[in-house]
Amino acid sequence: MTVDVGNSSIGVVSWRDGESRLVRHAQPEAAAGGLQGAVAIVSVAPERLRRLLAALPAGARPRVFEQAPPDLGAPGLLATAGADRLAAALALRPGPGVAIDAGTAVTVDLVDGAGRFVGGFIAPGPSAAAAGLAARTALLPDLGGDVVPIAPGAETRAALAAGTWGLAVGGLDRLVEAALATLGGHGVRLVATGGWGEAWRRASRLSGIELDPLLVHRGILRWAEAG
């Protein structure tokens, strides 16, 4: 089993006989209840990881992955990148490719043609941007960054919803364009994952975007196999 402990949800994948099943949980204790046997884990939320490990049932054999295979990239870069980003990079090998993980934060990570992680971008997702704007203004509500048509709003709530989502889509397009330019733009895979990855793919002006909800989990498997 593979587990991706995120800030908003915890993804758990069961791998059996070539089949996979992804389940998302809001709370660590709920995620822990279904874990059994060998469990490979990456996390970007230390407290949620602590709660998950404390709630594991007897018989679960957890392994938390933090140190990436040394051939994945420069040591300094690997030491500072989040484990979810490293797992996504492993899943993209042999490269070149760009992983777009659209969650509370959105990460855009690059793997070159030699299969090495070369960095990327981290930005707020639409829900985080909406919450931040509401916290810094007196009259604007937190609309949660919902997916809406990108069209001018006739009143404040509609304008705010369209503006937040439009900025997320357009900003992410621009980051991916910069990633493509860095990698040369030819034969580069674009793979979207995360909670709003599919919605971005539909709204994006870019073409050739693959959708893989299991991208990070495929990388966790490779990580486990390598170490």
For the chain, report the end-to-end CA distance as a whole number of angstroms. 16
Catalytic, out of 4, 17, 71, 84 = 84
* Helix, coil or strand: residue 21: strand
Strand segments, DSSP code E, in 47-159 are: 61-64, 97-102, 105-111, 117-124
Residues in a beta bridge with 192: 100, 211
Cα–Cα distance between 84 and 117 in angstroms, integer? 13
Strand segments, DSSP code E, in 112-208 are: 117-124, 189-193
Active site residue 84: yes
Which residues are known to be catalytic?
A: 84
